[in-house]
Amino acid sequence: MSPAEVPLVDHDVVERVLAAALAPGAGFAELFVEDRRSTGIRLDDGRVEELSSGHDRGAGVRVVVGDTTGFAHTADLSERGLLAAAEAASAVARAGGGGTRKVGLTERVLASPSTVSTLPERVAKASKVELLRRADDAARSSHRAVAQVSAGYGDSRRRILVANSEGLLTADDQVRTRLSVMCVASGDTGLQTGFESLALTIGFELFDRFSVEDTARQAAERAVRKLSARPAPAGVVPIVVKSGTGGILFHEACGHGLEADHVVKEASAYKGRLGELVASPLVTLVDDGTPADQWGTSAIDDEGRPSQRNVLIENGVLTDYMWDELRARKEGRASSGNGRRQSYQHLPMVRMTNTYLLPGKDDPEEILAQTPYGVYVAKLGGGQVDTATGDFVFGMTEAYLIEDGHLTEPLRDANLIGNGPDVLRKIDAVGSDFEMCPGTCGKDGQSVPVGCGQPTLRVTGVTVGGTARG
């Protein structure tokens, strides 16, 4: 699928819109066009509770005059509608002198990092519902304690075109497919939940690569194991974090603090620390929008810049922040390909793509065996962080007690409480394994898909907000 096959807007129209947007005094103008189709289905206890399809298309025009940004969006992709949006966005510059600027566009077509074999929009809804029924059957048959099952399916296709007054013209075609299963198990200790999902930036072939039934059984088994869970210890204890699951911790507790807008606003614990040792020398943290098929992957960001691999922390040393176009301009540097937006109705801002810790050299089994006592975090839930300080709280949705280097009892849900920079410094073992997981990142009212990942690792001490005495 070449992004250039069917242009969302004719190129000569794009040129005229940008010329209109470049009102006197304007230094930069940008047109962002989006066409998004999506499907969502939810099956609760064997019944289809939700089945929706959406198609949304429109454009946003951004004009920069000095330190002021004008922005307008429209659902009308006709030339008249786009020109009206351009004139509205550039109104802030109309008090200046006269004249117009012509924009000459050079199209740049970038290959997508992900290959789509079967567009989900070409698959019948009945086949998608059948996936959820298979998940429901597999979860229920895995254990008699499974009392409730909720399964969700989602897919989207997002075609975008980005052009600006510097002659940039590029496009992308992004397809994402996802399945999630949540199970509730009932026992003498009450109700416990388990969750598992599949999500990649590919098409319906996701379900040829991965088993729907295995995914459902994992969710069910997670819920059933927690029926025999004991209270988590309270206090500061070592933790071993399973590969993949801890990526969300570093995304929230560290990644947001490395976004340039937080740094510029002095709302980051990492401001002014470039070149400093901010983490254990075992830690190399990367944000990378290019890995094939991952949830935060795309050919370009939402400002038309090629996605790239950015090393943020290398061997413990802070090497760079993440940048969008406008903040990078002010610093006299290039964008890092991290300008992202939820839709054409939103302005882009600095956002992560796929953020992960690189693998180390330690054997994951040895990391566990060499931990006399602590908590093994097998899955993290949601959390919150103060980017200015790095302080965080995260929920553990699957965890086990470590005793004499072995996993013993499952633990009830509890919180991890700590500080991002402090956790980075306390990592004393990094495994040779690696795993990614999908997520949705919210920031300033906008949500975008992201990937998170890390190898198995050990932190020498984190506060666990449990109820048992450790």
CATH number at residue 58: 3.30.2290.10
pLDDT of 194 reads: 95
pLDDT in tens, 452-462: 999 999 999 99
Please check the confidence at residue 394 and state whether its pLDDT lies above 50: yes
In this predicted structure, what is the pLDDT of residue 69?
86
- The alpha carbon of residue 364 and the mean position of all alpha carbons in its chain are separated, in whole angstroms, by 26
| Residues 237, 221 share a domain | no
> Residue 167: which H helix or E strand, with range?
none
Is the same domain home to 217 and 257? no
If we measure between CA atoms, which residue out of 456, 462, 468, 384 comes closest to residue 416?
462
DSSP per-residue letters across 397-442: EEEEEEETTEEEEEE--EEEEEEHHHHHHTEEEEBS--EEEEEEEE
Q: Reduce the secondary structure of 349-388 to three states and give it as a string.
A: EECCCEEEECCCCECHHHHHHCCCEEEEEEEEEEEEECCC
* 330 & 378 share domain: yes
- Residue 6 placed within a domain: no
Residue 387: the pLDDT is 85
Of 195, 228, 261, which residue constitutes the final position of a domain?
Answer: 228
Which of 241, 229, 128, 227 shows the shortest CA–CA distance to 184? 227
**Do the domain assignments include residue 405?**
yes
Which region among 279-288, 381-390, 412-421 has the lowest average model confidence (pLDDT)?
Answer: 381-390
Q: Is the pTM of this model over 0.85?
A: yes
Identify whether 433 is part of a domain.
yes
| 325 and 405 part of one domain | yes
* Lowest mean pLDDT across 352-356, 410-414, 463-467: 463-467
Pick the closest to residue 338 from 404, 401, 289, 397 (CA basis): 289
Domain hosting 289: range is 233-469
Domain total in the chain: 2
**Residue 246 and residue 203 share a domain:** no
> Residue 3 falls within a domain, yes or no?
no
- Return d(Cα 452, Cα 257) in angstroms, integer: 15
* Cα-to-chain-centroid distance, residue 427: 23
Same domain, 201 and 289: no
Bridge-based pairing of strands 435-443 and 446-454 is antiparallel
What is the per-residue burial (b if ≥16 Cβ within 10 Å, else e) of 292-323?
ebbbbbbbbbbbbbebbebebbbebbbebbbb
2 occurs within a structural domain: no
Overall average pLDDT of the 63-68 stretch: 84
Residue showing tokens 């500061």: 236
Are residue 251 and residue 176 in the same domain, yes or no? no
The answer to the question of residue 4 being in a domain is: no
- Closest-CA residue to 263 (of 370, 196, 349): 349
Same domain assignment for residues 284 and 224? no
Domain boundary, last residue among 174, 202, 228:
228
- Arithmetic mean of pLDDT over the chain: 92
Q: 175 and 281 share a domain?
A: no
pLDDT tens digits, one per residue of 239-280: 999 999 888 888 888 899 999 999 999 999 999 999 999 999
Beta bridge pairs of residue 411: 230, 399
- For position 466, what pLDDT does the model report? 62
**Among residues 212, 228, 244, which one ends one of the domains?**
228
Asked if the model's pLDDT at residue 418 lies above 60, the reply is: yes
Is residue 4 predicted with pLDDT exceeding 60? no
pLDDT digits (tens, 9 = 90+) for 304-354: 999 999 999 999 999 999 999 999 998 999 999 999 999 999 999 999 999
Asked whether 39 and 120 are in contact (CB, 8 A), the reply is: yes
> Is residue 69 a part of any domain in this protein?
yes
Hey, which residues does 210 pair with through a beta bridge?
none
Same domain, 85 and 168: yes
Assess contact for 30 and 303: CB atoms under 8 A.
yes
Same domain, 133 and 281: no
pLDDT for res 102? 46
Inter-axis angle of helices 125-142 and 212-225, nearest 10: 40
Does residue 319 sit in the same domain as residue 263? Answer: yes
Q: Is residue 355 part of a domain?
A: yes
